[in-house]
Structure 1
């Protein structure tokens, strides 16, 4: 059960919410929690969802150093241990780490460490993808069009190893749940998914099947051996890295009956997941759902148990970029939300219903990606306008309450006004000079 001071919700303490805050609609819901009519987890998730759907523009940005006068953020990743350190890949080929829990006087996130572009050890071209090591902050990985994947030691900000790939690298990813392997998936423009072993320092094998460049790869958060890839051939493929015939299936947007026997014999026509190139893949936190996004602005939801298209209508979403876009999903909220870059805006949808709940406007050109912090519920976005924006949740307004709660608040307000009016009238007509003794 929730306590009256919200001591078990540090996010609400941060924003100064109180149980008596009528604007949050907690008067009715907290009473239901205390009576056992409403799950405290459901209430907590509902409050977090409301906060995550109410982001607004803030003035907090990254600390700018003189050594990065022309560099801007091209990709970013937040470590999943303390949700504190933000890793940024720069257009100059360098990298920088920021502490999002420390805001300096100039309303900037303090810089922890950085490597200038064109410096020995940095990438030759802009950094296209960065990722923290999922288990801790002892390593991070970067990749670029210079055909190199670098493994870095953040304590010394020096690369400790690197993989030289014989193709242009478009994306890479490490499994968030792997404990029996340390494979890194690399998406190449030759149509192959290259698996690199961080322990041995060599590429183990190549997954072949895509007709054209592989745009993005994503490991499953539920199974350490399941890998997904999306390519320019409009397909999303599911791989089992243990199997001899690694490709298990290709997702079908039409949910056609499976033809496993034909698929094993190299089907003439592979099912397509989208009508255009796939530019982004993202799992929900529990791995129950997969979201895929394509260049034509089509967002699809897939059930990871059956790999069926759920046919959710998310409305019209547009993009101007053929390169990979980073979308984000909210953690521990009900319902879950997805944040999609849409030209110069960020559109927020409820994942299961497809309802649009917010549109964030602040960039002047195309947004490259967004990063969601589940601890502070802040949202970070970066784009081609060379700007980095932090979005913060705001307190809810009365209009954010449900219809029943609004009617209840109106009834209470009307009753209070009537009572005050009657009391004032009674005081005005009362004979203050009369005495009971008379």
Structure 2
């Protein structure tokens, strides 16, 4: 038997809209209520299904990001949302600048306000476009930026000034900090030389390098379950797993064909490289539980890998088109069943179910190529950015509809007392 606390945990924007939203939910999610009542489905499983129903119905909203004069001629190249409060969106700009938006606030004009800005060309900014930005995972007290000017900078967001920097001997393609690290404070940076350089925030020095890629290490991701495991993708079409505690080579090379050990051994003898994609790897993303790794390449293929065994799940995703040789940022939903993947494809964003490969939604709104998308697990919002200089906010259709309910619909949901005039009293008469 379900209790009242179960309904309070449902992912609805406000309790007073619950009746309206229930009428709009997908039929399969509503049928789950009967399964919960019969004990065939747990409360958490049902909530995950409802979250999935909400998360696959995004539509573009009229909310816009505040555009200062200094950044009006540039566009966002990379973005990251702080993982503590899910409130501050950090954006790297094409002119080398950095901007921070408060996505939970709005100005008098209805714009998402800028709370921190360093325009390109100013002191402290990068010389080239910013290729990667990331908040410090433990809190929003630091953030890092990198670009092709061989500088990895550490910033104080309160003063919007760099407090430290790592000068490397190669151009930096991408960097990442572990979201679960407690025994180290390493930043893994992928260089165009093929090396992965580990920089220590505590000592301010580069500890050691991981050698293996035959071309640039274009994308880096720490595993969310193990603070010492690192996944890297390169222009040599390979994806490698590393243990930073080990001095030997990579732990594993992912094979797109799931070849047998005999075939792998034969490849090593003939010096044939085991590849994960038919072209350069442009994006890596772990699921929140760390059990699966998603990869996307310039060959237009999205692949799902078992992060424990390294096997290709062989999920058939529909054909995806890409125009970007540079990195693409994709996103995965949180606490949904099944998980959803949001992947930019030219000027659109494609939404897939993780384990079936089913295309459940196509988000159209950008005029030119989309560079990336960020998922907000707190309110299901999506933030996308592209070369058309637009940053768009996407909300689930159910939440958008509740904000546009007419007054008569509101009274049907929440009965309200009509205001009385100054000359009205509480007396009534049948003769009137």
Global fold match (TM > 0.5): yes
**Residue 9 of structure 1 aligns with which residue?**
10
**Residue 224 of structure 1 aligns with which residue?**
227
Alpha-carbon distance change, 4 to 138 in structure 1, aligned in 2, over 3 angstroms:
closer
Q: How far apart are the structure 1 equivalents of 2:343 and 2:21?
A: 34
1:151 aligns with 2:159: no
**Residue 177 of structure 1 aligns with which residue?**
180
Cα contact 2:188–2:197 (8 A) shared by 1 = yes
Larger Rg: 1
1:233 aligns with 2:233: no
Aligned residues, how many? Answer: 397
Offset of residue 107 of structure 1: 2.6
Q: 2:388 aligns to what SS in structure 1? A: coil
Q: How far apart are the structure 2 equivalents of 1:93 and 1:242?
A: 34
Cα contact 2:252–2:310 (8 A) shared by 1 = no
Alpha-carbon distance change, 243 to 6 in structure 1, aligned in 2, over 3 angstroms:
same
Alpha-carbon distance change, 383 to 365 in structure 1, aligned in 2, over 3 angstroms:
same
Q: 1:395 aligns to what SS in structure 2? A: helix
Cα contact 2:330–2:343 (8 A) shared by 1 = yes
Deviates more, 1:340-349 or 1:254-263: 254-263
* Equivalence map 1:403-418=2 (5 Å): none
Offset of residue 340 of structure 1: 0.7
- Please list every run of 5 or more consecutive structure 1 residues that lacks an aligned counterpart in the other structure: 398-438
Alpha-carbon distance change, 192 to 288 in structure 1, aligned in 2, over 3 angstroms:
same
Q: How far apart are the structure 2 equivalents of 1:74 and 1:371?
A: 12
Q: 2:48 aligns to what SS in structure 1? A: helix
Offset of residue 206 of structure 1: 1.2
Cα contact 2:11–2:50 (8 A) shared by 1 = no
Offset of residue 263 of structure 1: 10
Match of 1:325 among 323, 328, 335: 328
Alpha-carbon distance change, 119 to 266 in structure 1, aligned in 2, over 3 angstroms:
farther
CA RMSD of aligned residues (A): 2.3
Cα contact 2:13–2:399 (8 A) shared by 1 = no
Give per-residue Cα distances to partners, 1:379-418, cap 9 Å, x unaligned: 1100111111111101299xxxxxxxxxxxxxxxxxxxxx
Give the TM-score taking structure 2 as reference length: 0.87
Offset of residue 304 of structure 1: 1.1
Q: How far apart are the structure 1 equivalents of 2:351 and 2:243?
A: 32
**Residue 400 of structure 1 aligns with which residue?**
none
Q: 2:361 aligns to what SS in structure 1? A: strand
Q: How far apart are the structure 1 equivalents of 2:394 and 2:15?
A: 15
**Residue 22 of structure 1 aligns with which residue?**
23
Q: 2:113 aligns to what SS in structure 1? A: strand
1:395 aligns with 2:398: yes
